[in-house]
Structure 1
Amino acid sequence: MIRLKTIAVAALIQAAAILPSFAGENLAAIKSAGALKIGTEGTYAPFTFHDKSGKLVGFDVEIGEAVAAKLGVKAEFVEGKWDGLIAGIDAKRYDTVINQVGITEARKQKYDFSEPYIASKAVLIVRQDNSDIKGFADLKGKKSAQSLTSNFGKTAQENGAELVGTDGFDQSIQLVLTRRADATINDSLSFFDFKKQKPDAPVKIVAEQANADYSGIIIRKGEPELLAAVNKALADIKSDGTYAKISQKYFGQDVSK
């Protein structure tokens, strides 16, 4: 019995010794590396995308850069498709994901989230000449262009839609425009940005969810120092005007509420 207890204690000590060596497990490791590694899509305008010169830009990119600066490090972005983006945290490809990740109870079971930093509503988008779809319930039996693992995709499926898989907002809109999909449920802020860029695009919003969805910066569980530092950084960029400047640049309004 004593031998078994000794083995168990030794195993716990060995596990504890290994934990600090994992990349991104604590704030000290990030500061030592001089970089906060951030997972993001790079194809989700206006949050994270490439401009005409090929540079990675967007609301979430600038938020990530501002948060990293408050931590005293640089932001290092690692791009990936949405469907595997959050899984990259588990694989320790990066320390966090900043990509308008919705805060859900299911995700909170496995990951930690910062305080919400953006609020948006899901909207139902169809072609301008579509008169069949007037609300979410009308999606039954229709094709909806969605990222398959997104909250929007789940909402479409719950309303009886047949999902047409896409890599993100831009592709979803294109499928609606080319009639390969009847509709898409997507982020209101993405739609407003799209219409700002292409005001003549023949698409419209026919319905929106009553309640706002909130997004946060997502990290692995078990990194309380990093979580606290990220929350402080978000509070700081809101209080010093940095957040307002970024928000106005991309949306013309405060999108934190």
Structure 2
Amino acid sequence: MTAKKRTAAVLLPLLLACTSAQADLLSDITARGDLKCAVYSDVPPFSSPDVKTRQLAGMDVDLCTALAQQMGLKLTLVPTSVEARIAVIATGRADVLIANLAYTKTRGNQIQFSDPYYVAKEMLLVKQANADKTLEDFKGKRISATKGTTSEQSIHLKGGKAVTFQDSASAFLALEQNKVVGFVTNTMTGIKMISQAKKDGVELAMIKEPMALEPIGIGMKRDEPALLAAVNKGLKTMDDNGTIDKIWDTWIGPNTEYKMVREERVQPLANLKFEPLE
């Protein structure tokens, strides 16, 4: 064996070991004893500054805290925006992302998702007179949504004619002014808007059948199976012992202004029957 071959034979296992170590993000996290969890900088009720303490508080902050505890780690919150939440994971600024993150085909190609801990729904809001109709009745009809959102995608998915606006307030106003027959948004926002419209003397309703299902999970870097397994294990434990239910009820549950009921449990994404949005 030549000197070059002997050197290569010695270095190759070392290089492979180093590459393997670098690829195992969970080992790095465990070594430093700290979980960097990205959350919104100001999107209540998920994560926003508390008016008294000025510290970030909300549903996603509590989920980060609980997950870190389950993994035996300290927690460092990494504030991020809606626009930068995928990049904060892809660039390694944070280890995990808990930011009401819905699975879509595009996001699934950029980062990996944990098992979903709830399923958000895109819902159709209509005038009270249309409350008993089904989604089939709205095929080909003008329906409003915020431009570039999964709400807009769901309209196309169900055969409606999407009329888009730059913000949800304008899209909602189009329904109130009868410029469209429906407005699409997520359940939580829809419930708030129906309540607000009632105060303004406008009776609205929500069609029971969802326009689209959006599994909400924790985002992580792709090709990190050990971290994915650890996060999924933590979520399952939190689901089984009632931690997620308690956090849910505190921030968006039936006794809050959002009046949300948690229906789904933590389960593999593959178990859900849904058509992923783009």
The two structures have a TM-score, normalised by structure 2, of 0.67
Give the CA deviation at 1:61: 2.1
Which 5+ residue runs of structure 1 have no aligned equivalent?
Answer: 167-171
Match of 1:175 among 170, 174, 180: 170
- Contact 2:114/2:231 (<8 A) preserved: yes
Identify the residue that residue 117 of structure 2 maps to in structure 1. Answer: 117
Give the CA deviation at 1:41: 2.5
Secondary structure (helix, strand or coil) at the match of 1:67 reads helix
Cα 1:74/1:163, change in 2 over 3 Å: farther
In 1: Cα distance, 2:218 partner to 2:18 partner: 28
The structure with the larger Rg is 2
Secondary structure (helix, strand or coil) at the match of 1:84 reads coil
Which 5+ residue runs of structure 2 have no aligned equivalent?
Answer: 132-136, 255-260, 266-278
Give the CA deviation at 1:86: 1.0
Cα 1:58/1:18, change in 2 over 3 Å: same
In 2: Cα distance, 1:72 partner to 1:196 partner: 42
Identify the residue that residue 87 of structure 1 maps to in structure 2. Answer: 87
Where do residues 81-160 of structure 1 align in structure 2 (5 Å cutoff)? 81-125=81-125, 135=138, 137-139=140-142, 144-146=145-147, 148=148, 150-156=149-155, 159-160=160-161
Number of residue pairs matched by the alignment: 241
- Contact 2:35/2:73 (<8 A) preserved: yes
Identity of aligned residues (%): 24
In 2: Cα distance, 1:88 partner to 1:99 partner: 11
Secondary structure (helix, strand or coil) at the match of 1:115 reads coil
- Contact 1:157/1:163 (<8 A) preserved: no
Identify the residue that residue 258 of structure 2 maps to in structure 1. Answer: none
Give the CA deviation at 1:47: 2.7
In 2: Cα distance, 1:203 partner to 1:16 partner: 64
Give the CA deviation at 1:160: 4.0
Secondary structure (helix, strand or coil) at the match of 2:83 reads helix
In 1: Cα distance, 2:150 partner to 2:18 partner: 38
> Greater CA deviation, 45-54 or 241-250?
45-54
Identify the residue that residue 256 of structure 1 maps to in structure 2. Answer: 264
Give the CA deviation at 1:79: 2.5
Give the letter aligned to residue 103 of structure 1: Y
Q: Per-residue displacement from partner, 1:41-71 (whole Å, max 9, x unpaired)?
A: 2443333334433432222221121111111
- Contact 2:145/2:151 (<8 A) preserved: no
In 2: Cα distance, 1:44 partner to 1:119 partner: 19
Does the alignment pair 1:31 with 2:33?
no
Identify the residue that residue 200 of structure 1 maps to in structure 2. Answer: 199
Give the letter aligned to residue 38 of structure 2: G
